[in-house]
């Protein structure tokens, strides 16, 4: 579930866009309007009490507001797909995978990208600040959550794209995604689970 939690949301901006919720709304609207979109990512997971941790990389695919897909390529291949309320995770090398239902509305982390900004405002406090990498929007839960203590999006203001997503759970574990190389994807194929996988259900 840590993987799903990761997946599963500006130089001179107008005053309204600098407001954190306006910033997130602009990115979500831009990604949804773009249609299926791909990107590259590097993920670093640092356990509580450590200064360095595991590094993985791969490709992302978005079809907001319905679908997200992560294909980890290095060091070990594995894939995760969420469309609607059904999640798939599989290992392309051994041909096995799991399929299970997910309540996106009540899954901290997934709600950051898959719920409307109006819904998020009822769950999180938001603050923004400008930095060298873009505008950082930090969300903290209004009510304590076991899985999520804080999440931060860094947004490129010109391209209206997320370039970094980081979050910390209540145990102090930290995960950071660096995202780049955005590109348009075909409208079919990548959001359908593969047929040559043997699916197991809980």
Per-domain boundaries in the chain: 2-190
Cβ neighbours, 10 Å, residue 43: 21
What is the pLDDT, as a whole number, of residue 9?
Answer: 34
Contacts of 19 (CB under 8 A, 6+ apart): 128
Instruction: Pick the more confident residue, 81 or 114.
Output: 81
Asked if residue 150 has pLDDT above 90, the reply is yes
Structure tokens at 194: 């593969």
What is the pLDDT, as a whole number, of residue 199?
Answer: 94
* Average predicted confidence (pLDDT) for the chain: 85
What is the pLDDT, as a whole number, of residue 42?
Answer: 98
Task: Note the pLDDT tens digit of each residue in 50-71.
Answer: 999 999 999 999 898 888 999 9
Q: How confident is the model at residue 123 (pLDDT cuts 50, 70, 90)?
A: confident
Q: How many residues would you count in the chain?
A: 202
State how far the Cα of 6 lies from the Cα of 44, in Å rounded to an integer: 11
**Cis, bond preceding 181 (omega within 30 deg of 0):** no
Asked if residue 10 has pLDDT above 50, the reply is no
What is the pLDDT, as a whole number, of residue 108?
Answer: 61
Q: Tell me what the mean pLDDT of segment 159-177 comes to.
A: 94
Q: What percent of the chain has pLDDT over 90?
A: 59
Q: Which residues pair with 74 in a beta bridge?
A: 57
- Tell me which architecture the domain covering 2-190 has in CATH: Clam (2.50)
How far apart are the two ends of the chain, measured CA to CA in Å?
A: 14
Instruction: Pick the more confident residue, 147 or 23.
Output: 23
Asked if residue 111 has pLDDT above 50, the reply is yes
């Amino acid at each position: 579930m840590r993987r799903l939690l990761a997946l599963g949301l500006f130089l001179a901006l107008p005053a309204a866009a600098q407001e954190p919720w306006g910033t997130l709304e602009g990115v979500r609207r831009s990604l949804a309007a773009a249609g299926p979109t791909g990107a590259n990512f590097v993920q670093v997971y640092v356990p509580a009490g450590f200064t360095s941790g595991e590094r993985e990389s791969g490709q992302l695919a978005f079809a907001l507001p319905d679908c997200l897909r992560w294909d980890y390529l290095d060091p070990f291949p594995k894939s995760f797909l969420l469309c609607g309320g059904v999640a798939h995770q599989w290992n392309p090398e051994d041909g096995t995978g799991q399929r299970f239902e997910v309540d996106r509305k009540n899954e901290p982390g997934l709600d950051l990208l898959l719920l409307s900004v109006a819904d998020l405002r009822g769950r999180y406090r938001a603050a923004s600040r400008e930095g060298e990498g873009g505008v950082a929007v930090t969300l903290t839960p209004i009510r304590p959550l076991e899985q999520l203590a804080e999440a931060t999006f860094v947004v490129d203001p010109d391209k209206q794209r997320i370039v970094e997503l980081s979050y910390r759970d209540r145990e102090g574990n930290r995960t950071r995604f660096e995202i780049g190389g955005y590109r348009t994807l075909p409208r079919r194929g990548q959001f359908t689970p593969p047929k040559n996988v043997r699916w197991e259900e809980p």
